[in-house]
Structure 1
C-alpha cells in the first residue's frame, strides 16, 4: 500500500511537471531523494510507465492537431521533424552521461536558477507577436529541447523561452512546444524501454497502472491549464517557483551533508 501511494504521488508529479515549466526531471529526482524512497518506484521500468502516461496526455489533447499536421499542414510536420533531430542526437549520444553524472542536486539548483533567469529575460524582451513557425524557429527550439535533457532545465520551459526569443506568441510557443515534445517523450520512453530489456523489469503492474493513470490525468490538466494561463499571464510565477525550489534544495543538500 505504501508503494502504491508513492506511485500515485510520483505519477501526479510527473504529469504536472512534465508540462509546466518547472522541470519534471528535477522533481522526480528530488522527491525520492528528500524522502529516501527506494524500490519499484525508483526503477527504470516505473519511469517508463509515468512517461507513457504523459505521452498519452499529449495524444489525447492534440490528436486533432496531429491529424491536421499529417494530412493538411505538412510544412508543420517538416518543422517538427527538424526540431526533433537535435534532441534525438543528444539523447542517443549523451543519455548515459546525463543519467550517471548530471543527476546531482547542486546541478539541479544551478539549472533551475539560471534557466529561470533566461525565462525572465525572454518574457521581458520577446515581441510575442507571431503565431506560426519557420525553419529557423524549429531549429532553435529543437536545440533548446536538446538542452532540456540536463536535469532542472525543463523541456517546456526552455522551448517556450526559445519561442519567445524568436517572437512567437506565448500560447502558440507553448502549443508548438507540446507538439514537439510528443516524439521526444516517445523516443525517450522507447530508449529507456530498450535499456530495461537488458537489466530486467520490475513487474509490479499495479504500480505501473497507478503511475500511468495519474500521470495521464494530471498531464491533461497541466496542458489545458498552461495553454489557458499563457493566453493572459507571463511565465513569472513559474520562474519564482523555480527559484524557491532551488533555494529549498540547496538548503536541504547542506543540512544533509
Structure 2
C-alpha cells in the first residue's frame, strides 16, 4: 500500500466512522477499488490502526464527558457517571467474546469481499430505515439496553454493518433518546479499540515486519484529522437529520457492490 492510498483510506475511515454507513465496509470497498493486495491479517491491521485514530478523535471531541466519567468512577460512588461507565463495560462483553474466540474467522472477512460488504450494507440500510420510524423519547440507556446494544456492536464487526448505525438504531428501536443513543454509541467503542491495540502490541502484531509502518502512520494522521471533523459534524447531524437519508445511501452502495461482485 502506497502513501496516496493510505491517505485516501484514512480520510474514508475518518469521515465514515461517525456516519451510519459502515466505515469498515467502505474501507474494504476502497481497498478493492485501489487494488490493495495485502493479506487479510495486514488488511485487518490497517483497519484497526485507522479505527484507533478515530477513537482518539472521539476522545478529543468528548473530552469533557470522558473526564466527567473518570471523576465519577474515582469517587467510588454509585453516581450517574459510574452507572454510565458500567453500562459501557457491560456493552463491551459481546464484542470481546467475538474478538477472543472468533478472531481468525473475523480476519478472513477483511480481504476485499465486496459481495459480503454489499449484503451487509443492505442490512445496515434496513436497520436505519426501521429506526427512522421509531418514536423519539427522553429515555436514557438502561443496563439491559446496554447489553442489547453491545450485541449489535458485536454483529457490526462484520464489514458492511455500520457500528454506529447498528448501535444507534438498536438504541432508538429500544425507545431511547436519539441524542443519548448517539453519545453512548460514540463512547462505547473507545475502550474496545484501545483494548484491541493493546492486545496487538503485546502480541507483536504491530511490527515493521508485518505492516508498512509509513503507510500506517500517514493513514493514522489522515483518519484522525478527518475524524475530528466528522465527529463534530455528526453530533449536530444526528440530532436534526433523518436516518432514512443514510438508509438510502447504504442501499444504493450495497446494491452497486453486489452487482459489481457478481459481474
Partner of 1:88: 96
5+ residue gaps in structure 1?
none
Q: How many corresponding residue pairs?
A: 251
Question: What's the C-alpha RMSD, in Å, of the aligned pairs?
Answer: 2.2
Contact 1:26 1:151 in 2 (8 A): yes
| Pair 1:28–1:190, CA change in 2 (3 A) | farther
- Which of 248, 252, 257 is the equivalent residue of 1:244? 252
Structure 1's 49 and 111: CA in aligned 2 closer, same or farther, altered over 3 A? closer
Alignment TM-score, normalising by the size of structure 1:
0.89
Describe the SS at the equivalent of 1:196: coil
* TM-score, length of structure 2 as denominator length: 0.87
In 1, distance between residues paired with 2:196 and 2:163? 12
Question: Deviation string for 1:95-142 (max 9, x for gaps)?
Answer: 211221475222222111122112211221x22212522111111111
Counterpart mapping for 1:1-257 below 5 A:
3-38=2-37, 43=43, 45-72=45-72, 73-101=81-109, 104-124=113-133, 126-193=134-201, 194=203, 196=205, 200-205=209-214, 207-255=215-263
How many Å apart are 1:54 and its aligned residue? 1.0
207-216 or 148-157, larger mean C-alpha shift: 207-216
SS, match of residue 77 in structure 1: helix
The answer on whether the counterparts of 2:119 and 2:258 sit within 8 Å (CA) in structure 1 is no
Instruction: State how far apart, in whole Å, the 1-side matches of 2:147 and 2:45 are.
Output: 32
Contact 2:50/2:220, CA 8 A, preserved across alignment: yes
Higher mean Cα deviation, 159-168 or 97-106?
97-106
In structure 2, the gaps of 5 or more residues are 73-80
The alpha-carbon distance between structure 1 residues 3 and 102, as it changes in their structure 2 partners (threshold 3 A), is: closer
Alpha-carbon deviation of 1:35?
A: 2.6
Q: Distance in 2 between matches of 1:252 and 1:63?
A: 42
Shift of 1:191: 3.8
| Displacement after TM superposition at 1:70 (Å) | 2.0
Q: Is the 8 A contact 1:44 1:196 kept in 2?
A: no
Q: 1: CA distance between counterparts of 2:128 and 2:21?
A: 11
Q: How far did 1:153 drift?
A: 0.7
Indicate how the Cα distance of structure 1 residues 137 and 14 shifts in structure 2: closer, same or farther if over 3 A, else same.
same
For residues 9-29 of structure 1, what are the alpha-carbon distances to aligned partners after superposition, in whole Å with 9 as ceiling and x for unaligned? 010011112221111111111
Per-residue deviation, residues 155-195 of structure 1 (Å, max 9, x unmatched): 10100011101111222211110010111222233344436
- Distance between the aligned counterparts of 2:248 and 2:197, measured in 1? 30
Deviates more, 1:188-197 or 1:22-31: 188-197
